[in-house]
Structure 1
């Protein structure tokens, strides 16, 4: 199965998102997927099998439990394939970063201006 066929399924993408936070048991993964997608435990097992057989995950036994983790090799292959397309969005992301920095700088300037304003002194109040 091609990597994009594997990742084209929202359930499998969600499983990978869960595993990106670290190794998890099949039971913990199944609980989240069942709650979010309404899929049965055997259905979740099928998705885990596809991910395992396509190389996106590894599994190890710990007693009766099965612990799944992300295997980064297929993701690195996708990253290399996408390299030729990055030019289409990298300029836009650079522009976004510039705008975010500009907004932070303006907020700091406004905060500094606000904090330097002082309360009127008693002498100022008497002059009014």
Structure 2
């Protein structure tokens, strides 16, 4: 999970992942989304590949990258208790706000 968190820490790598959610893409297509040179994009893709977040396949002379969402499963499981915490807090806040509202009937 540390490799996944490290990979997600960089904004450029998140842009790449966001693009790959839509569809697989070539290095050139991904490079067009970023304000960095193609070698930098390749380095980011290597980090994503090593973290298990993307797969690459050869298609003639092109490399096509695709998202591996299963690599995010451990992170999703780790975040679960934090989601539950916020859900409970927001439910309690909603109840508190509802309790403080004046009765809607009879008001004009």
TM-score (norm 1): 0.65
Give unpaired runs (5+ residues) of structure 2. 95-108
Distance, in Å, in 1 between the alignment partners of 2:87 and 2:64 is 36
Q: 2:28 matched to 1:27?
A: yes
Give unpaired runs (5+ residues) of structure 1. 97-128
The count of corresponding residues between Structure 1 and Structure 2 is 91
From the CA coordinates, give the structure whose radius of gyration is larger. Answer: 1
Secondary structure in structure 2 of the residue aligned to 1:39: coil
Secondary structure in structure 2 of the residue aligned to 1:75: helix
What are the Cα deviations for residues 48-77 of structure 1, in whole angstroms up to 9, with x where unaligned?
111011100000010001110001122111
Secondary structure in structure 1 of the residue aligned to 2:33: helix
| CA RMSD of superposed structures (Å) | 1.9
Name which structure has the greater RCO, CA cutoff 8 Å, separation 6+: 2
Name the one with the larger helix percent. 1
User: How do 1:25-64 residues align onto structure 2 when only pairs under 5 Å count?
Assistant: 25-33=26-34, 38-64=35-61
